[in-house]
A and B are shown apart, each in its own frame.
Chain A
Amino acid sequence: MADILIIDDDFNVCLTLARLFKKNGHTTVCVHSMAEGIETASTQAFDVVLLDVMLPDGNGLEILPAICRTPSNPEVIIITGAGNPAGVELAIDSGAWDYIEKSSSPKEMLFPLNRALQYREKKKAANTTIAFKREDIIGDSPNLSQCIDLLAQVSDSDSTVLITGETGTGKELFAKAIHANSARKKGLFVIVDCAALPESLVGSVLFGHKKGAFTGAESNQTGLIQQADDGTLFLDEVGELPLSIQKDFLRALQERRFRPVGGSIEVASNFRLVAATNRNLDDMVKLGTFRKDLLYRLNVFPITIPALRDRKSDIKALSIYHVARLCGNYDIEIKGFSPDFFHALEFYQWPGNVRELFNALDRAVTAAHHEPTLFSKHLPKHIRSEFIRAGLKHTEAAAGAGFPMDNGGTLPPFKDFRDQMEHDYLEKLMELTQGRRLDACSVSGLSRTRLFELLKKHSLAQ
């Protein structure tokens, strides 16, 4: 059953078509001008729009693009007067699916409608999103969601992918997700860490070698490119691939054939390449340390993973996930979270991204010992300090809104003003650090001795 909109100023035509379509199980709405047609198509969902060309407020073809752009993106069939081939050609060129002549028989009128509906069904089936297995990718922030949409798109294909992002953002995790969602998921996922391999080893690891190819090559070895046949080869830190190897690797990527070190016979491998780097490969090309043609081959489908500071709304979900995992590993009761714990996490900028977050959570869970709830005090000092400083800035900004005057509305003596400011600052500092002097020193930059002197001066020492 389809929803059909008829835009025609001829009431008889509208009635005839509406009865015909209703008899075939469809629902119909009829309007009689371009303006009504656009408004109705914009506010209701239709599968097909039948559009007359000669309308009282203009040429129907003028609104054809606008109708196609409405949210339901309907197929458009033009209603023409008999014997107007030029008009038909124009309609099809304008994006119409088909046309109906007003003099056609009911069967002739239904045929283009049914074809349009069949096409629409096939289109819907092709656009259905298959559930994407996210593995351990946690979060639903807009930036991450955009990234996951790209992952889903590329997983369906065999394209080479280049994943970029700061250190600690989870490039390996994303590469694994691409593999796990691809047609190659039954094949191997083979990692090559280009930064971990000395230059002398890279060729042998990638391409394999023959016995006796070099000192120490006591037997034949199959390279990882061959091991990744029908699977995925993940080249981590691809920017570290030595220049001397890049040419041979490029050939292997282009032709899916290569020669093991010391070998004379070529070997074939149907591997899919996913590469990752936190370096700027364009800059490396300019410096001559990375081949431009290899970059071109790698950059078929680039994906950039957002830094954690650009997806802060995911911090809570990541923390809950990771703490649950830690507590499971340590076989302890799952810990809860205080609001100030999450606030502190959200203030920090996370230069080390998710890896740094997970390390901080490790330390917080350890610092909490048997306490059931995590507070900001359990976090590493440098993270707490940033949170506390942010709190102080907010307080200072609020306080600075009005300049302090004495009751007479005149400027107070400088010493009184300074003492008052000192007192207010110290009071706030000790409140935010919950009386912890080490934290207070860290935030304020004061030495312990100086802090103690000032606290004593303002009767704030406990």
Chain B
Amino acid sequence: MRGILYYRPENPSGEQLLTLLKPIFTDHILSCHRTVEHLSRDLKQSANDQGIAILCLDTYKDLSAMLEIRDLFWKHRIVLILPDMERETVARAVQLFPRYMTAPDQGLNDIKDVVSRLMEQRGDSSPKH
């Protein structure tokens, strides 16, 4: 089970999110990306099992950039941290088919619970050999 975390270096919530998520990924890989290019390359090259992508997007431009590479996320369950939860923002964000959406003003602590549960799901849904 693999995790991908994306946030731009300028994003103030990014480091906070990384600190929250690290303990969940002690037995799994969590790859961090700061640019869309690096993220795309990783998604294209990845031959691992399905993963979870936590995308922390602080601008609409960032969200647009994710929408342009959305086809690369087909193996991943997506968790989105959006600039806000206004209808227009959500209307664009749902095109990524996220499993959970929130914004920094809602608090980030719930993300840890959600990501843990997604990892359990993915672990349970793979046949054991």
Interface residues of A (CB under 8 A from B): 167-168, 172, 176, 188-191, 193, 195-198, 201, 205, 216-219, 221-222, 227, 237, 329-331, 351-352, 355-356, 358-359, 362-363, 365-366, 380, 382
B94 touches A227 (CB 8 A): yes
Known contacts A167-B125, A216-B107, A355-B125: A190-B94 contact under CB 8 Å: yes
Within 8 A of A (CB), among B100-123: 100, 105-107, 109-110, 113-114, 117-118, 121
Complex-state Cα separation, A193 to B98, whole angstroms: 9
B114 touches A356 (CB 8 A): no
Name A218's contact: one of B94, B107, B118, B125 (CB within 8 Å). B107
Cβ of A205: which chain B residues have Cβ within 8 Å of it?
100
Cβ of B24: which chain A residues have Cβ within 8 Å of it?
none
B94 touches A188 (CB 8 A): yes
Name A197's contact: one of B91, B100, B105 (CB within 8 Å). B100
Closest Cβ of chain A to B1, distance in Å, is 12
- B92: nearest residue on chain A (CB-CB)? A188
Closest Cβ of chain B to A221, distance in Å, is 6
A193 touches B99 (CB 8 A): yes
Known contacts A167-B125, A216-B107, A218-B106: A196-B100 contact under CB 8 Å: yes
- A231: nearest residue on chain B (CB-CB)? B94
Closest Cβ of chain B to A215, distance in Å, is 9
Known contacts A190-B94, A330-B45: A197-B114 contact under CB 8 Å: yes
A195 touches B117 (CB 8 A): yes
| A–B complex contacts, Cβ < 8 Å, 26 sampled | A167-B125, A168-B125, A188-B91, A189-B94, A191-B94, A191-B97, A193-B99, A195-B117, A195-B121, A196-B77, A196-B118, A197-B117, A198-B114, A201-B113, A201-B114, A205-B100, A217-B106, A218-B107, A222-B87, A227-B91, A237-B121, A331-B44, A352-B126, A355-B125, A359-B50, A362-B47
